[in-house]
A and B are shown apart, each in its own frame.
Chain A
Amino acid sequence: MPVRILVVDDHPIVRHGLRTLLGGRPEWEIIDEAEDGIEAVEKADRLKPDVVVLDVSMPRMDGLEACRRIRKNVPKSEVLIVTQDDSPQMMREALGAGARGYIVKSDAARDLLAALEAVSQHKPFIAQNRGQVGDSE
């Protein structure tokens, strides 16, 4: 069964890029996109994706709040945070909000596939210090 993915970012050009990067794997299916946290929560409720690839900085509702709500409403949906902010604090907040994975946008091309693979199997994936990447399990 394919891994069903919801891609969330307020910039369509980034969503295009994420689609392109994820598109190489036939077992992954991008089922929809959302452009802010509210839309992400609504679509996750309705579509129940396996993984939500979630930006943090978005209008109306940010990715951290969206993550908390998605994890509460649809516990089976895992969240992979893809953010511009590579601070340890952001990483802690993302994990505290219930995200299973955390990667930095500037390294997304390098980390996204491995992160999605881990998260889709309910394993954590943390990009560490933009250079060392590890599966913390």
Chain B
Amino acid sequence: MKLRILIADDHEVVRRGLCTLLQTHEGWEVCGEAKDGREAVEKAKQVRPDVVILDVGMPNLNGLAATRQLLQQNPQQKVIVLTITDSDHVIREALDAGARGFVLKSDAARDLISAVEALQHNRMFFTPRVNDMVLAGFLDRGHNGSNGESPKLPTLTPREREVIQLLAEGKSSKEVACLLNLSTKTAETHRSNIMRKLAFTRSGI
């Protein structure tokens, strides 16, 4: 039986590249494509892929939030995060969201096949230069209790993160409500909660 892969990237030129690359591997097929995180979550429900490859920087719902939703939907879902940045923050967020693979876009042509193979055999995969950084970070935290990183947004719920991305993209509360199937009032409540929480964060710095 073929390994079925769902790919999500907002740039079709990248999706074409990913398809071309993945389909050269015998026994794999790209069973679906999505142009943002929300579509990826929906498509995963329909096509039940073995592996989902998600770009991080996508509109509507970014790849990290989509990873969380995919794992919530199916805790066994294997997700590879594809990103242009290897910042410690994004790596930690990806791990925290439950991704089992982390590949830099610049290295994708070299590493993506290995990453999918690793997940196919129930292993994890991290782009080699990320591996070192993650290990160093964890060791450092082990010694110091803290790594001195910039503060995360731990108090925001996954739903609030979805809302803040949409607001940051310039959408109104009404549009947010429509996209997330909420009432406008609920969207506005999320908005004011976010403002309150971020204001607390700012005043605490």
Q: Which of A10-18, A73-81, A92-100, A128-136 lies on the face that meets chain B?
A: A10-18
Is A109 within 8 A of B110, CB to CB? no
Is B14 within 8 A of A13, CB to CB? yes
Count of residues in A whose CB is under 8 Å from the partner chain: 19
Is A108 within 8 A of B13, CB to CB? yes
- CB-CB under 8 A from B17, the residues of chain A are 12-18, 20
Whether A21 is near chain B, meaning CB under 8 Å from some CB there, is: yes
Tally of contacts, chain A with chain B, CB under 8 A: 63
A13 and B55 alpha carbons, distance in the complex (Å) = 13
Whether A19 is near chain B, meaning CB under 8 Å from some CB there, is: yes
A112 and B16 alpha carbons, distance in the complex (Å) = 13
Count of residues in B whose CB is under 8 Å from the partner chain: 18
Q: Which of B72-80, B101-109, B153-161, B195-203 lies on the face that meets chain A?
A: B101-109
Whether B21 is near chain A, meaning CB under 8 Å from some CB there, is: yes
Is B106 within 8 A of A11, CB to CB? yes
The one of B13, B106, B109, B110 in contact with A105, judged by C-beta atoms closer than 8 angstroms, is B13
Whether A87 is near chain B, meaning CB under 8 Å from some CB there, is: no
Whether B141 is near chain A, meaning CB under 8 Å from some CB there, is: no
The one of A10, A17, A82 in contact with B16, judged by C-beta atoms closer than 8 angstroms, is A17
The minimal Cβ–Cβ distance linking B103 to chain A, given in whole angstroms, is 10
Which A37-87 residues have C-beta < 8 A from chain B?
Answer: 82
The one of B20, B105, B110 in contact with A19, judged by C-beta atoms closer than 8 angstroms, is B20
26 pairs of residues in contact across A and B, judged by CB atoms under 8 Å? A10-B106, A11-B105, A11-B106, A12-B17, A13-B14, A13-B18, A13-B21, A13-B109, A14-B11, A14-B13, A14-B14, A15-B109, A16-B18, A17-B14, A17-B16, A17-B20, A18-B13, A19-B20, A20-B17, A20-B19, A21-B13, A106-B10, A106-B12, A109-B13, A109-B16, A110-B12
* A binding-site residues for B, Cβ under 8 Å: 10-21, 82, 105-106, 108-110, 112
Known: A12-B17, A106-B12. 15 other contacts (CB 8 A): A11-B105, A13-B18, A13-B108, A14-B11, A14-B14, A14-B17, A15-B109, A16-B17, A17-B15, A18-B17, A20-B20, A106-B10, A106-B11, A110-B12, A112-B13
